[in-house]
Structure 1
Amino acid sequence: MAVGLAEEELRNALTRRGLGWEIVYVAATEPPGTVVTVDPAEGERIETGGVVKVSVSTGEPVTASPDPTGGDTD
């Protein structure tokens, strides 16, 4: 249920459950501010006071990196 929420919604939900969070912003196809992954995964147990690692979309497209050696990648 956490994946797909807005960042603020997830922060509020974690606070209500006595959990902390660590946010990382990542390029993803989801709209900006949308939660794309959580760790521990949904359904896994975490103790009160624990920290959930959250990846949030920047809304920027994911692009392939050029070959740093200058060679052909095909």
Structure 2
Amino acid sequence: MKTLNIVTLVLVIVGGINWGLVGIAQFDLVAAIFGGQDAMLARLVYVLVGLSALWQILPLVSPGMAGEPRPAPRR
């Protein structure tokens, strides 16, 4: 589970950097690397980044999912 969280976090960071470049310089790095926005590999990266963002929402809505210790139950 920790590996999946790291991989998805890296993909979300890549997506954020890509969107920053699009906003600042109108340059889509993913499209430039993989042959255009319509290229199959570029579309795959876009989908993986989107799914990674959804996966990274889970720790926000579920306490303890991010590897944080849970409080001990009261007796």
TM-score of the superposition, structure 2-length normalised? 0.26
Higher helix proportion, which one? 2
Greater CA radius of gyration, 1 or 2?
2
Higher strand proportion, which one? 1
TM-score of the superposition, structure 1-length normalised? 0.26
